[in-house]
Amino acid sequence: MDPIALTLIELGAVVFALGLLARLAGRIGMSPIPFYLVGGLTFGAGGLIDLGGVREFAHLSGEIGVILLLLMLGLEYTAQELVTGLKTSWQAGVMDLVLNALPGAGVALLLGWGGVGALVLGGVTYISSSGIVAKVITDLGRLGNRETPTILAVLVFEDLAMAIYLPILTATLAGVSFLGGLQTVGISLVVVTVVLLVALRHGHHVSKAVHSENSEVFLLNVLGLALLVAGLASAMQVSAAVGAFMLGIAISGTTAHLASRLLEPLRDLFAAIFFVAFGLNTDPTTIPPVLGWALLLAVVTAATKFVTGWWAAARAGVAVPGRARAGAALIARGEFSIVIAGLAVTAGAVNDELAALATAYVLLMAVLGPLAARFVEPVVRAVRRSGARKAAEAPS
């Protein structure tokens, strides 16, 4: 068969299957990320069928998916919100970083994956999935709850931490010298600072430059500029993802809202292909040997995220049920954990076992997070009722 025809058939089958998986996930109230990963594992290297014809397309589409994920994330914030969130949440953010990055880094060192592996796996276990968390909060009708600003503040800190972490990771994976690494981090910090200042004072000019009443022109302007900025950032070793994130921050107001609405279908499509591409490049036979470690990390980091959310909400004066909801909401890991692992795998700086561990871990956490958020409140109420009943029955 003609190679192009075969590629089109395979690509069409993959995209159609993604639609079916997304529909299934929506019906059972789950994130589709685990389904996309499983699909990639099934039809990738070592799976049931090797769809080699779509690998090249999936790789480039996955890169675009990462850029759109970070661009859309930046569009959700204004520079003022980021600065305010950093001021109010830095203590909880630091606690979150320490409690949740250390388990991943520790396991990597125990498995002999060295400093690079520790840096990668620490990032995988640290960052919550903003997409899953936001969807769970919306689906459960908790947008107006007292603990929600606390949850969002922690997520804001994590996203800002990613703007510093990703350039460090990129430089490390590229084998840059210590001095070169410091230079890369310095450039990243300067870029982040400059973009925040520009967004605070001149964000309306950036928005005006890309805005158009014609939706086709608007889409081309935003998408083209995002790819251009991401490419330039990558050339400076700052990380394409960070470049897209900072562009999103610089676009504000009505322009940001309209851009989000136009880009959302593209983001969902390319992000889905990104997860499938990661699964395609992961041999499922490498997962069973690391599954025990993935389960251990899932249990430990679910507990540490819960503690983080509980503590942050308690500092904000939120009652016990709200503290529990905050802790459970932050448990989910997803897109950014895979982005980090994907960068490491693409650079060839880690072995297949780390990719397998990251895949198994995200599969577990993307399922556990929404379930914990949904059922934590009934559990807390049942425990409190039981405690009150025992107290009433105790002899005076």
Structure confidence at residue 139 (pLDDT)? 76
Structure confidence at residue 96 (pLDDT)? 94
pLDDT confidence bin for 331, thresholds 50/70/90: very high
Percent of the chain with pLDDT over 90: 21
Report the half-sphere exposure of 173 (CA within 13 A, side-chain side): 24
- Mean pLDDT for 328-346 is 86
Q: State yes or no: pLDDT of 278 exceeds 70.
A: yes
Under 8 Å between Cβ of 114 and 354? no
- Mean pLDDT for 96-118 is 93
How confident is the prediction for the chain on average, in pLDDT? 82
* Domains delineated in the chain: 3-380 (1.20.1530.20)
pLDDT confidence bin for 181, thresholds 50/70/90: low
Structure confidence at residue 62 (pLDDT)? 77
Structure confidence at residue 100 (pLDDT)? 96
- Mean pLDDT for 2-20 is 82
- Mean pLDDT for 279-290 is 83
Q: Which of 149, 86, 173, 134 is nearest to 309 (CA)?
A: 149
Least confident of 12-16, 238-242, 251-255: 238-242
Structure confidence at residue 117 (pLDDT)? 92
Higher pLDDT, residue 175 or 165 = 165
Q: State yes or no: pLDDT of 159 exceeds 70.
A: yes
- Mean pLDDT for 282-286 is 82
pLDDT confidence bin for 32, thresholds 50/70/90: confident
- Mean pLDDT for 156-170 is 80
Higher pLDDT, residue 70 or 325 = 325
Estimate the crossing angle of helix 55-75 against helix 240-250, to 10 degrees.
30
Say how far apart CA 280 and CA 46 lie, in whole Å.
9
Say how far apart CA 73 and CA 166 lie, in whole Å.
15
Range 9-15, long-range pairs (CB < 8 A, 24+ positions): 10/51, 10/53, 10/54, 11/53, 11/54, 11/57, 13/51, 14/39, 14/43, 14/51, 14/54, 14/58, 14/273, 14/276, 15/269, 15/273
Task: Tell me how far CA of residue 34 lies from CA of 286, 332, 334, in angstroms.
Answer: 17, 12, 8
pLDDT confidence bin for 47, thresholds 50/70/90: low
Task: Write out pLDDT tens, residues 348-380.
Answer: 777 778 888 998 999 899 889 888 988 887 777
Give percent helix, percent strand, percent coil of the chain, each to the nearest 5: 85, 0, 15
pLDDT confidence bin for 79, thresholds 50/70/90: low
Q: State yes or no: pLDDT of 178 exceeds 60.
A: no
Least confident of 238-252, 278-292, 359-373: 238-252
Q: Which of 104, 164, 47, 50 is nearest to 354 (CA)?
A: 104
Say how far apart CA 311 and CA 303 lie, in whole Å.
12
Q: State yes or no: pLDDT of 396 exceeds 60.
A: no
Higher pLDDT, residue 116 or 388 = 116
Structure confidence at residue 233 (pLDDT)? 77
Ranked by mean pLDDT, which of 76-80, 104-108, 380-384 comes out on top? 104-108
Task: Write out pLDDT tens, residues 51-71.
Answer: 666 666 777 787 888 888 878
Q: How many CB atoms lie within 10 A of CB 254?
A: 9
